[in-house]
Amino acid sequence: MHKSVKDIIEKKKLGQKISVITAYDYTLASLCERTGIDILLVGDSAGMVMLGYENTVPVTMEQMIMFTEAVARARQSSLVVADMPFMSYQASISDAIANSGRLVKAGADAVKLEGGKVVSKTISAIVETGIPVMGHIGFQPQTTTLSQGYKVQGKTEETAVTLIEDAKALEEAGVFSIVLEMVTAEVAKIISESVSIPIIGIGSGRFCDGQVLVIHDMLGMYEKIKPKFVKQYLSLSEQITKAVTSYKSEVESGKFPAEENWFSMDRVELDKLIRKIGS
């Protein structure tokens, strides 16, 4: 039995921190599942990490469906949340509802939308259909990257007030939790204390109700962007490069494959074959 939205909300009430990992494929999601991680977030950052895009903007619904299906197949106990990609919910509420449904059919337990007050009506409409929604404010990769670049949010009184108001608007719209990305720790603390739903931080300090990191970042596999807020628990890129280098060397030298790496015929059958073909 996997976790429900209600279970995630309850963790905040009990003062228990919420663990979230962003993953995009069956293999890594399966490994994360073994740990009892609370939420598997299928992020549209897959466009950068898995597909090599410069940002998340080019990611399509079809691609998000594929990644969501892969992660959902690995689900044992975690809640699966899938990102709504750029322009899958901005054009109309009907588009947003339809695309949310497509991700749920792909295996998601909930969907995530970027934006504050501006998307509150859209979120309300999705929630009314019975689909749980996670909000996302602060740095918003789908749009902030285009207009501002990578900047910390909530550094001034004015922007802090806007973030607080956005969080409250999202709670009122019916989200069950909010991702707070690259927001100053002070503002993140105020927001976490101002709403009853869980606040999941990424680069927003330790006062949030939970934390999220991309699995490829924390394992040191994705090196194109190295945000300050990422803690690298392993440096797999170095180990993988070393392993592939060793493989290449052994192939070229003839060391691989060795006898333990291949299959052989029974000697009697081989002798029969040799007699038949006359060699």
Binding positions for 3-methyl-2-oxobutanoate are 44-45, 83, 112
Residue 181 designated active-site: yes
Q: Residues at the annotated binding site? A: 44-45, 83, 112, 114
Encoded amino acid at 259, one letter? E
Task: Please give the Cα distance from 118 to 166 (Å, whole number).
Answer: 9
* Residues paired with 115 in a beta bridge: 136
Dihedral sign for Cα atoms in the order 165, 132, 174, 125: positive
Q: Is the CB of residue 202 less than 8 Å from the CB of residue 230?
A: no
With beta carbons less than 8 A apart as the criterion, state whether 256 and 245 touch: no
C-alpha R_g of the chain? 23
For Cα atoms 187, 189, 190, give the angle at the middle one, nearest 5 degrees: 65
54, 62, 165, 181: the active-site residue: 181
User: Which two three-digit tokens encode residue 243?
Assistant: 């392993």
C-alpha 167: how far from its chain's center?
Answer: 21
- Residue numbering of the annotated binding site for Mg(2+): 44, 83, 114
DSSP string, 113-141: --BSGGGHHHHHHHHHTT--EEEEEES-T
Give the relative orientation of helices 120-128 and 93-105 as an angle to the nearest 10 degrees.
50
C-alpha atoms less than 13 angstroms from C-alpha of 183 in its C-beta half-sphere: 33
Rounded distance between C-alpha atoms, residue 71 and residue 107, angstroms: 8
Alpha helices in 129-184 (DSSP H): 144-147, 157-173
Residues assigned a catalytic role: 181
